[in-house]
Amino acid sequence: MVNDVIETIRAAKAKKSKVYPQHVCRASEIGHPCERYLVYCITHWTEKAPPSPDLQFIFDGGRLVEDLAIQDFEEAGFKVYRPEPDRAIQESRPRITGHVDIRVDFGDGTVYTGEIKGLNFYDWEKLNTIEDFFRSKKAWIQKYPAQLMTYLYIKAEPRGFFYLKSIPRFFPKLIWVDLDYGYMEQILQKTERVECHVAAGTLPDPMPYDEHICGNCSFTHICLPERIGTEVKVVDDGRLLELLAEYDLLKPGAKRFDEVDKEINELVKGQDKLLVGDWFVEGKWVERTNYSIPDEIKAQYAEKSQYWRKKIIPVEGSVLQTPTQTPAH
């Protein structure tokens, strides 16, 4: 019965997941590191993979975080201006469109444009300056500065802010952001390149494969075949295929385990014994000895070795139509 209820809820979320037409660059996407992705968003939006039910749950939660943020400001006595939800701001030549989350007067008579983001505690803790956003390996975090600065540029405002809420706990963090005209010029030039490709019906060269970016891309199924090309050995190995399928099934859980483990470590660090609900957590400091060896001594004992490093990339459909080698059995 419980499983039926959950599956019914997930099915409802799946119906809610839709992909909408896109005709120009969006402020929320223009900071994406892959220009080919930005072109695909406009020219191949019908082929964009819709958000999964799990991602749709996150999107819906993000809207609740926005409501909580507005409540935080209003309870503190700040004047909050809520932009009209159906009114988009747009920059021309090049064209960028978007929706501002919030505008707030903190008491000095100036109204500041802000972006509200809900983040897992691990990411929330690491983001304290605008430079931390740029250093992130996660594409969606890399996009945030461009989104806010685009709004500041369009509205001719020198300063704005990020209001970050941690999930769980919902602790707040405010990061001031000054408009960087040099960075904004790069964003505008990128937008112009995207517009040129859209007009010409061409695509930018693919970026080198990056698991953090390409591994979560909504256009992997149409971009990846071009990257693979035809110089590939096709292998008919049932056991390897079985293992790869199992690897793909287990990988998200392993990744989430690492994220949860790191977050728990941060929350319990330095506390010997904790009773949390039905869980008892015990910890202690462990000492280890490190040896500082001069480089000239290390060089005397250095030995070269090698290991095989792999990348496993999911491919939708049959993309290897013209193998250059006989399939191995």
Domains, the chain: 2-218 (3.90.320.10)
Task: Tell me how far apart the terminal alpha carbons of the chain are, to the nearest angstrom.
Answer: 46
pLDDT in tens, 269-288: 888 888 888 888 888 888 88
Residue predicted with more confidence, 230 or 184: 184
Q: Which residues contact 217 (CB under 8 A, 6 or more apart)?
A: 34, 37, 223
pLDDT at 324: 34
pLDDT at 246: 83
pTM: 0.70
Mean local confidence (pLDDT), 188-216: 90
Residue predicted with more confidence, 243 or 84: 243
Residue predicted with more confidence, 198 or 319: 198
Measured distance CA(237)–CA(246) in Å, rounded: 14
Whether residue 242 is predicted with pLDDT greater than 80 in this model: the reply is yes
- Asked if omega into 94 is within 30° of 0 (cis), the reply is yes
Residue predicted with more confidence, 125 or 89: 125
Mean local confidence (pLDDT), 208-219: 83
* pLDDT bucket at 311, cuts 50 / 70 / 90: low
* pLDDT bucket at 313, cuts 50 / 70 / 90: low
pLDDT at 328: 37
Measured distance CA(259)–CA(269) in Å, rounded: 16
228 closest CA partner among 307, 308, 312:
312
pLDDT in tens, 72-114: 999 999 999 877 554 556 666 688 988 898 999 999 999 999 9
* pLDDT bucket at 320, cuts 50 / 70 / 90: very low
**In percent, how much of the chain has pLDDT > 70?**
87
The residue to which tokens 């090309």 are assigned: 229
Whether residue 326 is predicted with pLDDT greater than 50 in this model: the reply is no
Measured distance CA(197)–CA(44) in Å, rounded: 13
**In percent, how much of the chain has pLDDT > 90?**
40
Query: Cβ–Cβ contacts within 10 Å for residue 210, how many?
Result: 14
pLDDT in tens, 18-45: 888 899 999 999 999 999 999 999 999 9
pLDDT at 316: 53
pLDDT at 131: 95
260-266 — which CB contacts under 8 Å span 24+ positions?
A: 262/122, 263/120, 263/121, 263/122, 266/121, 266/122, 266/125
Q: Which residues contact 280 (CB under 8 A, 6 or more apart)?
A: 273, 274
Mean pLDDT lowest among 89-98, 150-159, 172-181, 240-249: 89-98
